Amino acid sequence: MLDEPRLLAANPWVTRRPITVVEYHRMGEVGILGKRDRVELIEGELVAMSPIGSYHQGTVNQLTHSLVQSIGEHAVVSVQGPVRLDDFSEPEPNFALLKPRPDFYRAAHPGPSDVLLLIEVADTSLNYDRAVKRALYARHAIPELWIVDLNAGEVEIRRQPDAAAIRRSRASTGTASSSRTCCPGSASRPRHCFAERTTMPDTTVTEIKPLSRVEMAARVARDIPEGWYVNLGIGIPTAIADHVPLDREVIFHSENGVLGMGPAPPKDKIDPWLINAGKQYVTLRQGGSFCHHADSFSMIRGGHLDLCVLGAFQVAENGDIANWATSENDTAPAVGGAMDLAAGAKRLWVLMEHTTKDGAPKLVQRCSYPLTAVGAVKRVYTNLAALDVTDRGFVVIDMAPGLTFDALQARTDAPLHRSA
């Protein structure tokens, strides 16, 4: 009853009727759900919660003791209590640090604005907590999330759960300790707050800082050899031209008829007639030229480009790419020149974020969006890693500082392989 049947999961045309929080509570009141039914309501569906082992429960007991001692009167420590995020979601995190309230939330369950910090203790539920719970909390602007990874002995800390920066603490012992200071979100919060000072003895802390979009573009520019003819797709790829050294000759091409495109100009040097295919102002390098739109596509279809770098919504482990949309809200709807570029360029690289804003992986086993090209992608650069697309699938070339292979795999749908 509580787990979604595989038959329905395999049929996307089946319309599901979501359960509201009010109906969820009513199911408990009339006995449809009993005390032994360990479930939580996530986006209108009942999700079975993992059984709690002794080590998991012992960690919860230990953290309860430490949190209550450290927090004092600065917050309410709720253990395995519900948090009503909206009319269709009421998860039960292992811990919620809540803003103080005289009634201790007897009148109603806390909502997103009441939360200072959520903590999920995970072993078998780790991937679910990272992908589903984190995205859910981010969507409701929960200010801080900890995921305690019991398998790796790590604590993953996110301030704003969808934020790029991740703080991870690796513990060599299982004894938690907390320095006494004020709690997250309080008016007197010091620079080094409770969340930064609650650690484990003998702990080494490394910062996982995914690359910014500028750093992503610079990373790709570093790998483009001298003398290549390169087309840059709309979006993040257009910034690559800004990071190629002036003493390296890379000839950038734009579909609208520019060959020898240079970096973006200073604001006081803009030529309003000189733009790229994304309608952004560019410059022209020495020896650059203009041509008709048809001639520009003849270069693409004739196989004269050494490389094309595109953005994408998804890339599959076999090199399939999905990067076009038809939504009315999109600034560049439909396929555009991407299918010509994917088919005509000698090599296709992709530059994109590793996950969606909701935390869903964009490197997948099979694309679920309409394909732009089949088996065309040779390399992918994201804010977390650079990967080659091979006969084995995705092979990791390098990763963002502080990121482990297992952590990267947890954010990727397709299996990853280490480089030889």
Catalytic residue positions, numbered: 255
Task: Give the number of residues written for the chain.
Answer: 420
> What single-letter DSSP state applies at residue 334?
B
What gap in Å lies between CA 395 and CA 417, rounded to an integer?
A: 5
Answer whether 38's CB lies under 8 Å from 58's CB: no
Instruction: Specify the amino acid at residue 179.
Output: S
Structure tokens at 256: 């609208």
Q: Tokens 């693409």 belong to which residue?
A: 300
DSSP readout, 265-316?
A: PPGGG--TT-B-TTS-B-EEEEEEEE--HHHHHHHHHTT--SEEEE--SEEE
DSSP readout, 347-394?
A: -EEEE--SB-TT--BSEESS--SPPSBSS-EEEEE-SSEEEEEETTEE
What radius of gyration, in Å, describes the C-alpha atoms of the chain?
25
What gap in Å lies between CA 278 and CA 235, rounded to an integer?
A: 7
Question: What are the C-alpha distances in Å from 336 to residues 166, 183, 321, 342, 372?
Answer: 36, 51, 14, 11, 10
